[in-house]
Amino acid sequence: MGQDGALMSKLSWQMVGLIAVLSAAAVALATLADWDPAAILGALGVLGGIGGGAAVAGGVSGRVEQLQADTAAQTTQLGTIERRVNGELDARIEAGANRAALKVLAELRAQGVIR
């Protein structure tokens, strides 16, 4: 299931609640108010748009917060990896430089340039 499917399943109870409220409002307006069907449908459309937008915005903000938390955790982990890699590389470079210096000194001694 993609992100859209996950968002819809996460919001399904909110959507059911919204439909129930809109249905109750439609019945109440149809029985108690002297509104024509077009006015009732218009009012339900406005209420549905507001309620649906709020439900989707709530789901999206929760996902954004989760992504921010994941990013913060990854940033900490990347800092740890960076320290390990840089420290390990520094140690390898230093060890290589020491080996090279020892080889140069050994060769200079072998040629009699130094004692």
Q: 60-103: per-residue pLDDT in tens?
A: 667 777 888 888 888 888 888 887 777 777 788 888 899 999 99
Domain count, the chain: 1
**72 within some domain:** yes
Q: Which two tokens stand for residue 2?
A: 């993609």
Whether residue 22 is contained in a domain is answered as yes
Tally the residues of the chain.
Answer: 115
- Residue 54 tokens, joined: 């709020």
With respect to residue 103, please indicate whether it lies within any of the assigned structural domains: yes
- Report the predicted TM-score, pTM, of the whole model to 2 decimal places: 0.38
pLDDT (0 to 100) of residue 100? 92
Q: Is residue 17 part of a domain?
A: yes
**Per-residue pLDDT, 84:** 76
Confidence of residue 104 (pLDDT cuts 50, 70, 90): very high
Q: Which domain holds residue 48?
A: 3-110
Token pair 């004692």 is found at 115
pLDDT value at position 60?
A: 67
What contacts 108, CB < 8 A, 6 or more positions away? Answer: 114
Q: Is residue 115 part of a domain?
A: no
